[in-house]
Amino acid sequence: MTEMTLKPGTEWATLYARCREIAPEAFAADRVNNHWGGQWRADGEPRTSYSPVDGSEIAGPPMLDEATADLAVAGAAADHRAWSGVPLDERRDRVRAAVRAWGEHRDTLALALVWEIGKPWRLARQDVDRAISGVEWYLEEVDRMLDGRVALDGPVSNIASWNYPMSVLAHAMCVQALAGNGVIAKTPTDGGLVCLTLAVALAVREGLPFTLVSGGGRDLSPALVRGSEIGCVSFVGGRDTGGRVAADLADLGRPHILEQEGLNCWGVWEFDDWDTLTGQIRKTFDYAKQRCTAYPRFVVQRSRFDAFLQAYLSAVSTVRFGHPLAVADPGDDLPQLDFGPLVNAAKAKELTDRVEEAVAGGAVPLHRGSVADALLLPGQNTDAYVAPVALLEPPRSSPLFHAEPFGPVDTIVLVDTEAELLAAMNASNGALVATISCDDTDTADRLAAGVRAFKVGVNRPRSRGDRDELFGGWGDSWRGAFVGGELLVHAVTRGPASERLPGNFPHYTLHPEGRV
């Protein structure tokens, strides 16, 4: 077997030096800075962080305390008051200049994503490209979206997960600013610090009112969620943290968008197009299923299980994973991988332990890949790497039965009736997406109506969607306003007094001004 080597020019030290050269105000030799009150500041205690790619030490988030977070929010509120009076044409010009700068430094932003969160090169570049193209679409469409609307009373506070710092978080920040708001973002503590900091530095140079802070949720939540000057809270993450945020917001009457995890399911019923399904299953392994629209659960009609299993194993056996920057020859292109490592070694161990516990509880291993099959450098640390696993019938006591694994672990549940199919697909009380594979589309549509997911595909996967496609969730997978297209703008602006924003507000009603 050919011995692999690190692609020259992709080293962490080379990347960080490039970031310092591009934005020296944001990156010091020994730390990354926060940005608030119109200045880059060497405050907060940098936390030691390690790359999931090979376990090497990388830049860690500069963790602020609660008192400093309060000052940062006050600065963001001042930025908001000034920015909300800037004419739309000027806001548009500045946002356009910011995304143009992102394009100029696209590969640096993407390489940061590789080192910080383990994204394969193809997907890292895609994340940056989607952020740019998405904002560009809003630049062209925002006039009609803002007709009759004004900015919020205070800045938008963003608390997002680590997996899509560009196409979800940075993209939303630009749209929020385009709509006339000051913007605060908390850097994800699990990864994405350098990428997001560089993106913010490029945007701040163009005059965008961005505040960027790092810190623990317990320390920053009083300021970023409950702070009196916050106009809206936008959260993307797990249900545990999301539940705490929702509890903090319950008595504040504050606009919010809370996207939380859900166990997205793929149902197979009266279906026989196995070649198509094999190709679809292979694609579900992109980025190790570390995304909110991943499909980790297959609910399969028992009488079709033998054919399904053959299709599934044909797909999973072709999945390629490993070190995203490993090449056989220095002149080779970076590898075309389905995924690299998980976000950190702790997550990899947690997922591996859950698999072992499920098997001990009665789950049947149908497929177990090996890290030895991964594309790796000689002797590299592999603590964050997990090979694909598929388990049949996880016990109901296992977290793998009812919760999203956020890793390359699939579970398969067998059913005999349509009622059992729907019950199994609704195991997590709400999801973002689902799919029904069924030869008869009328039957598929009827079944889809009983699935508690926001988007249900028939014989195809669903995704978050781009631009004008509505996005949200049902049940515990979502709280607050839906987004997508004009709703992403409407969620962070105020409209007519009679407006009722579309969304999942299970415990609240909307006041006339559009707040909950």
pTM of the entire structure? 0.95
> Which of 297, 276, 295, 298 is closest to 285 using CA atoms?
295
So what's the pLDDT on residue 469?
84
Mean model confidence pLDDT for the chain: 94
So what's the pLDDT on residue 240?
86
So what's the pLDDT on residue 228?
95
Average pLDDT over residues 95-120: 98
In this structure, of 137-146, 251-260, 370-379, the range with the lowest mean pLDDT score is 251-260
Q: How confident is the model at residue 261 (pLDDT cuts 50, 70, 90)?
A: confident
Q: How confident is the model at residue 243 (pLDDT cuts 50, 70, 90)?
A: confident
Tell me the two tokens of residue 196.
């997001």
Three-state DSSP at 499 gives: coil
> Distance between CA atoms of 26 and 196, rounded to whole angstroms?
11
> Measured over all CA atoms, what is the biggest interatomic distance in the chain, rounded to whole angstroms?
68
**How many Cα atoms occupy the beta-carbon half-sphere of 515 within 13 Å?**
14
Packing angle of the helix pair 66-83, 217-224 (nearest 10 deg): 30
What are phi and psi for residue 81, nearest 5 degrees? Answer: -60, -40
Q: pLDDT exceeding 90 applies to what percent of the chain?
A: 88
> Which of 169, 398, 376, 153 is closest to 263 using CA atoms?
398
pLDDT in tens, 358-381: 999 999 999 999 999 999 999 999
Average pLDDT over residues 120-143: 97
> Which of 411, 432, 421, 433 is closest to 476 using CA atoms?
432
pLDDT in tens, 63-90: 999 999 999 999 999 999 999 999 999 9
So what's the pLDDT on residue 466?
65
In this structure, of 15-29, 285-299, 428-442, 490-504, the range with the lowest mean pLDDT score is 490-504
390 has pLDDT over 80: yes
In this structure, of 15-24, 167-176, 234-243, 426-435, the range with the lowest mean pLDDT score is 234-243
Are the C-beta atoms of 398 and 363 separated by less than 8 Å?
A: yes
Domains detected in the chain: 20-53+66-260 (3.40.605.10), 265-458 (3.40.309.10)
447 has pLDDT over 70: yes
Q: How confident is the model at residue 512 (pLDDT cuts 50, 70, 90)?
A: very low
So what's the pLDDT on residue 111?
98
Three-state DSSP at 181 gives: coil
272 has pLDDT over 50: yes
Tell me the two tokens of residue 175.
């749209």
> Distance between CA atoms of 114 and 192, rounded to whole angstroms?
9
Between 506 and 99, the more confident residue is 99
pLDDT in tens, 407-421: 999 999 999 999 999
So what's the pLDDT on residue 516?
35
Average pLDDT over residues 420-434: 95
Are the C-beta atoms of 124 and 110 separated by less than 8 Å?
A: yes
pLDDT in tens, 55-65: 999 999 999 99
**Which residues lie across from 410 on neighbouring strands?**
390
Are the C-beta atoms of 60 and 193 separated by less than 8 Å?
A: yes
322 has pLDDT over 70: yes
So what's the pLDDT on residue 509?
42
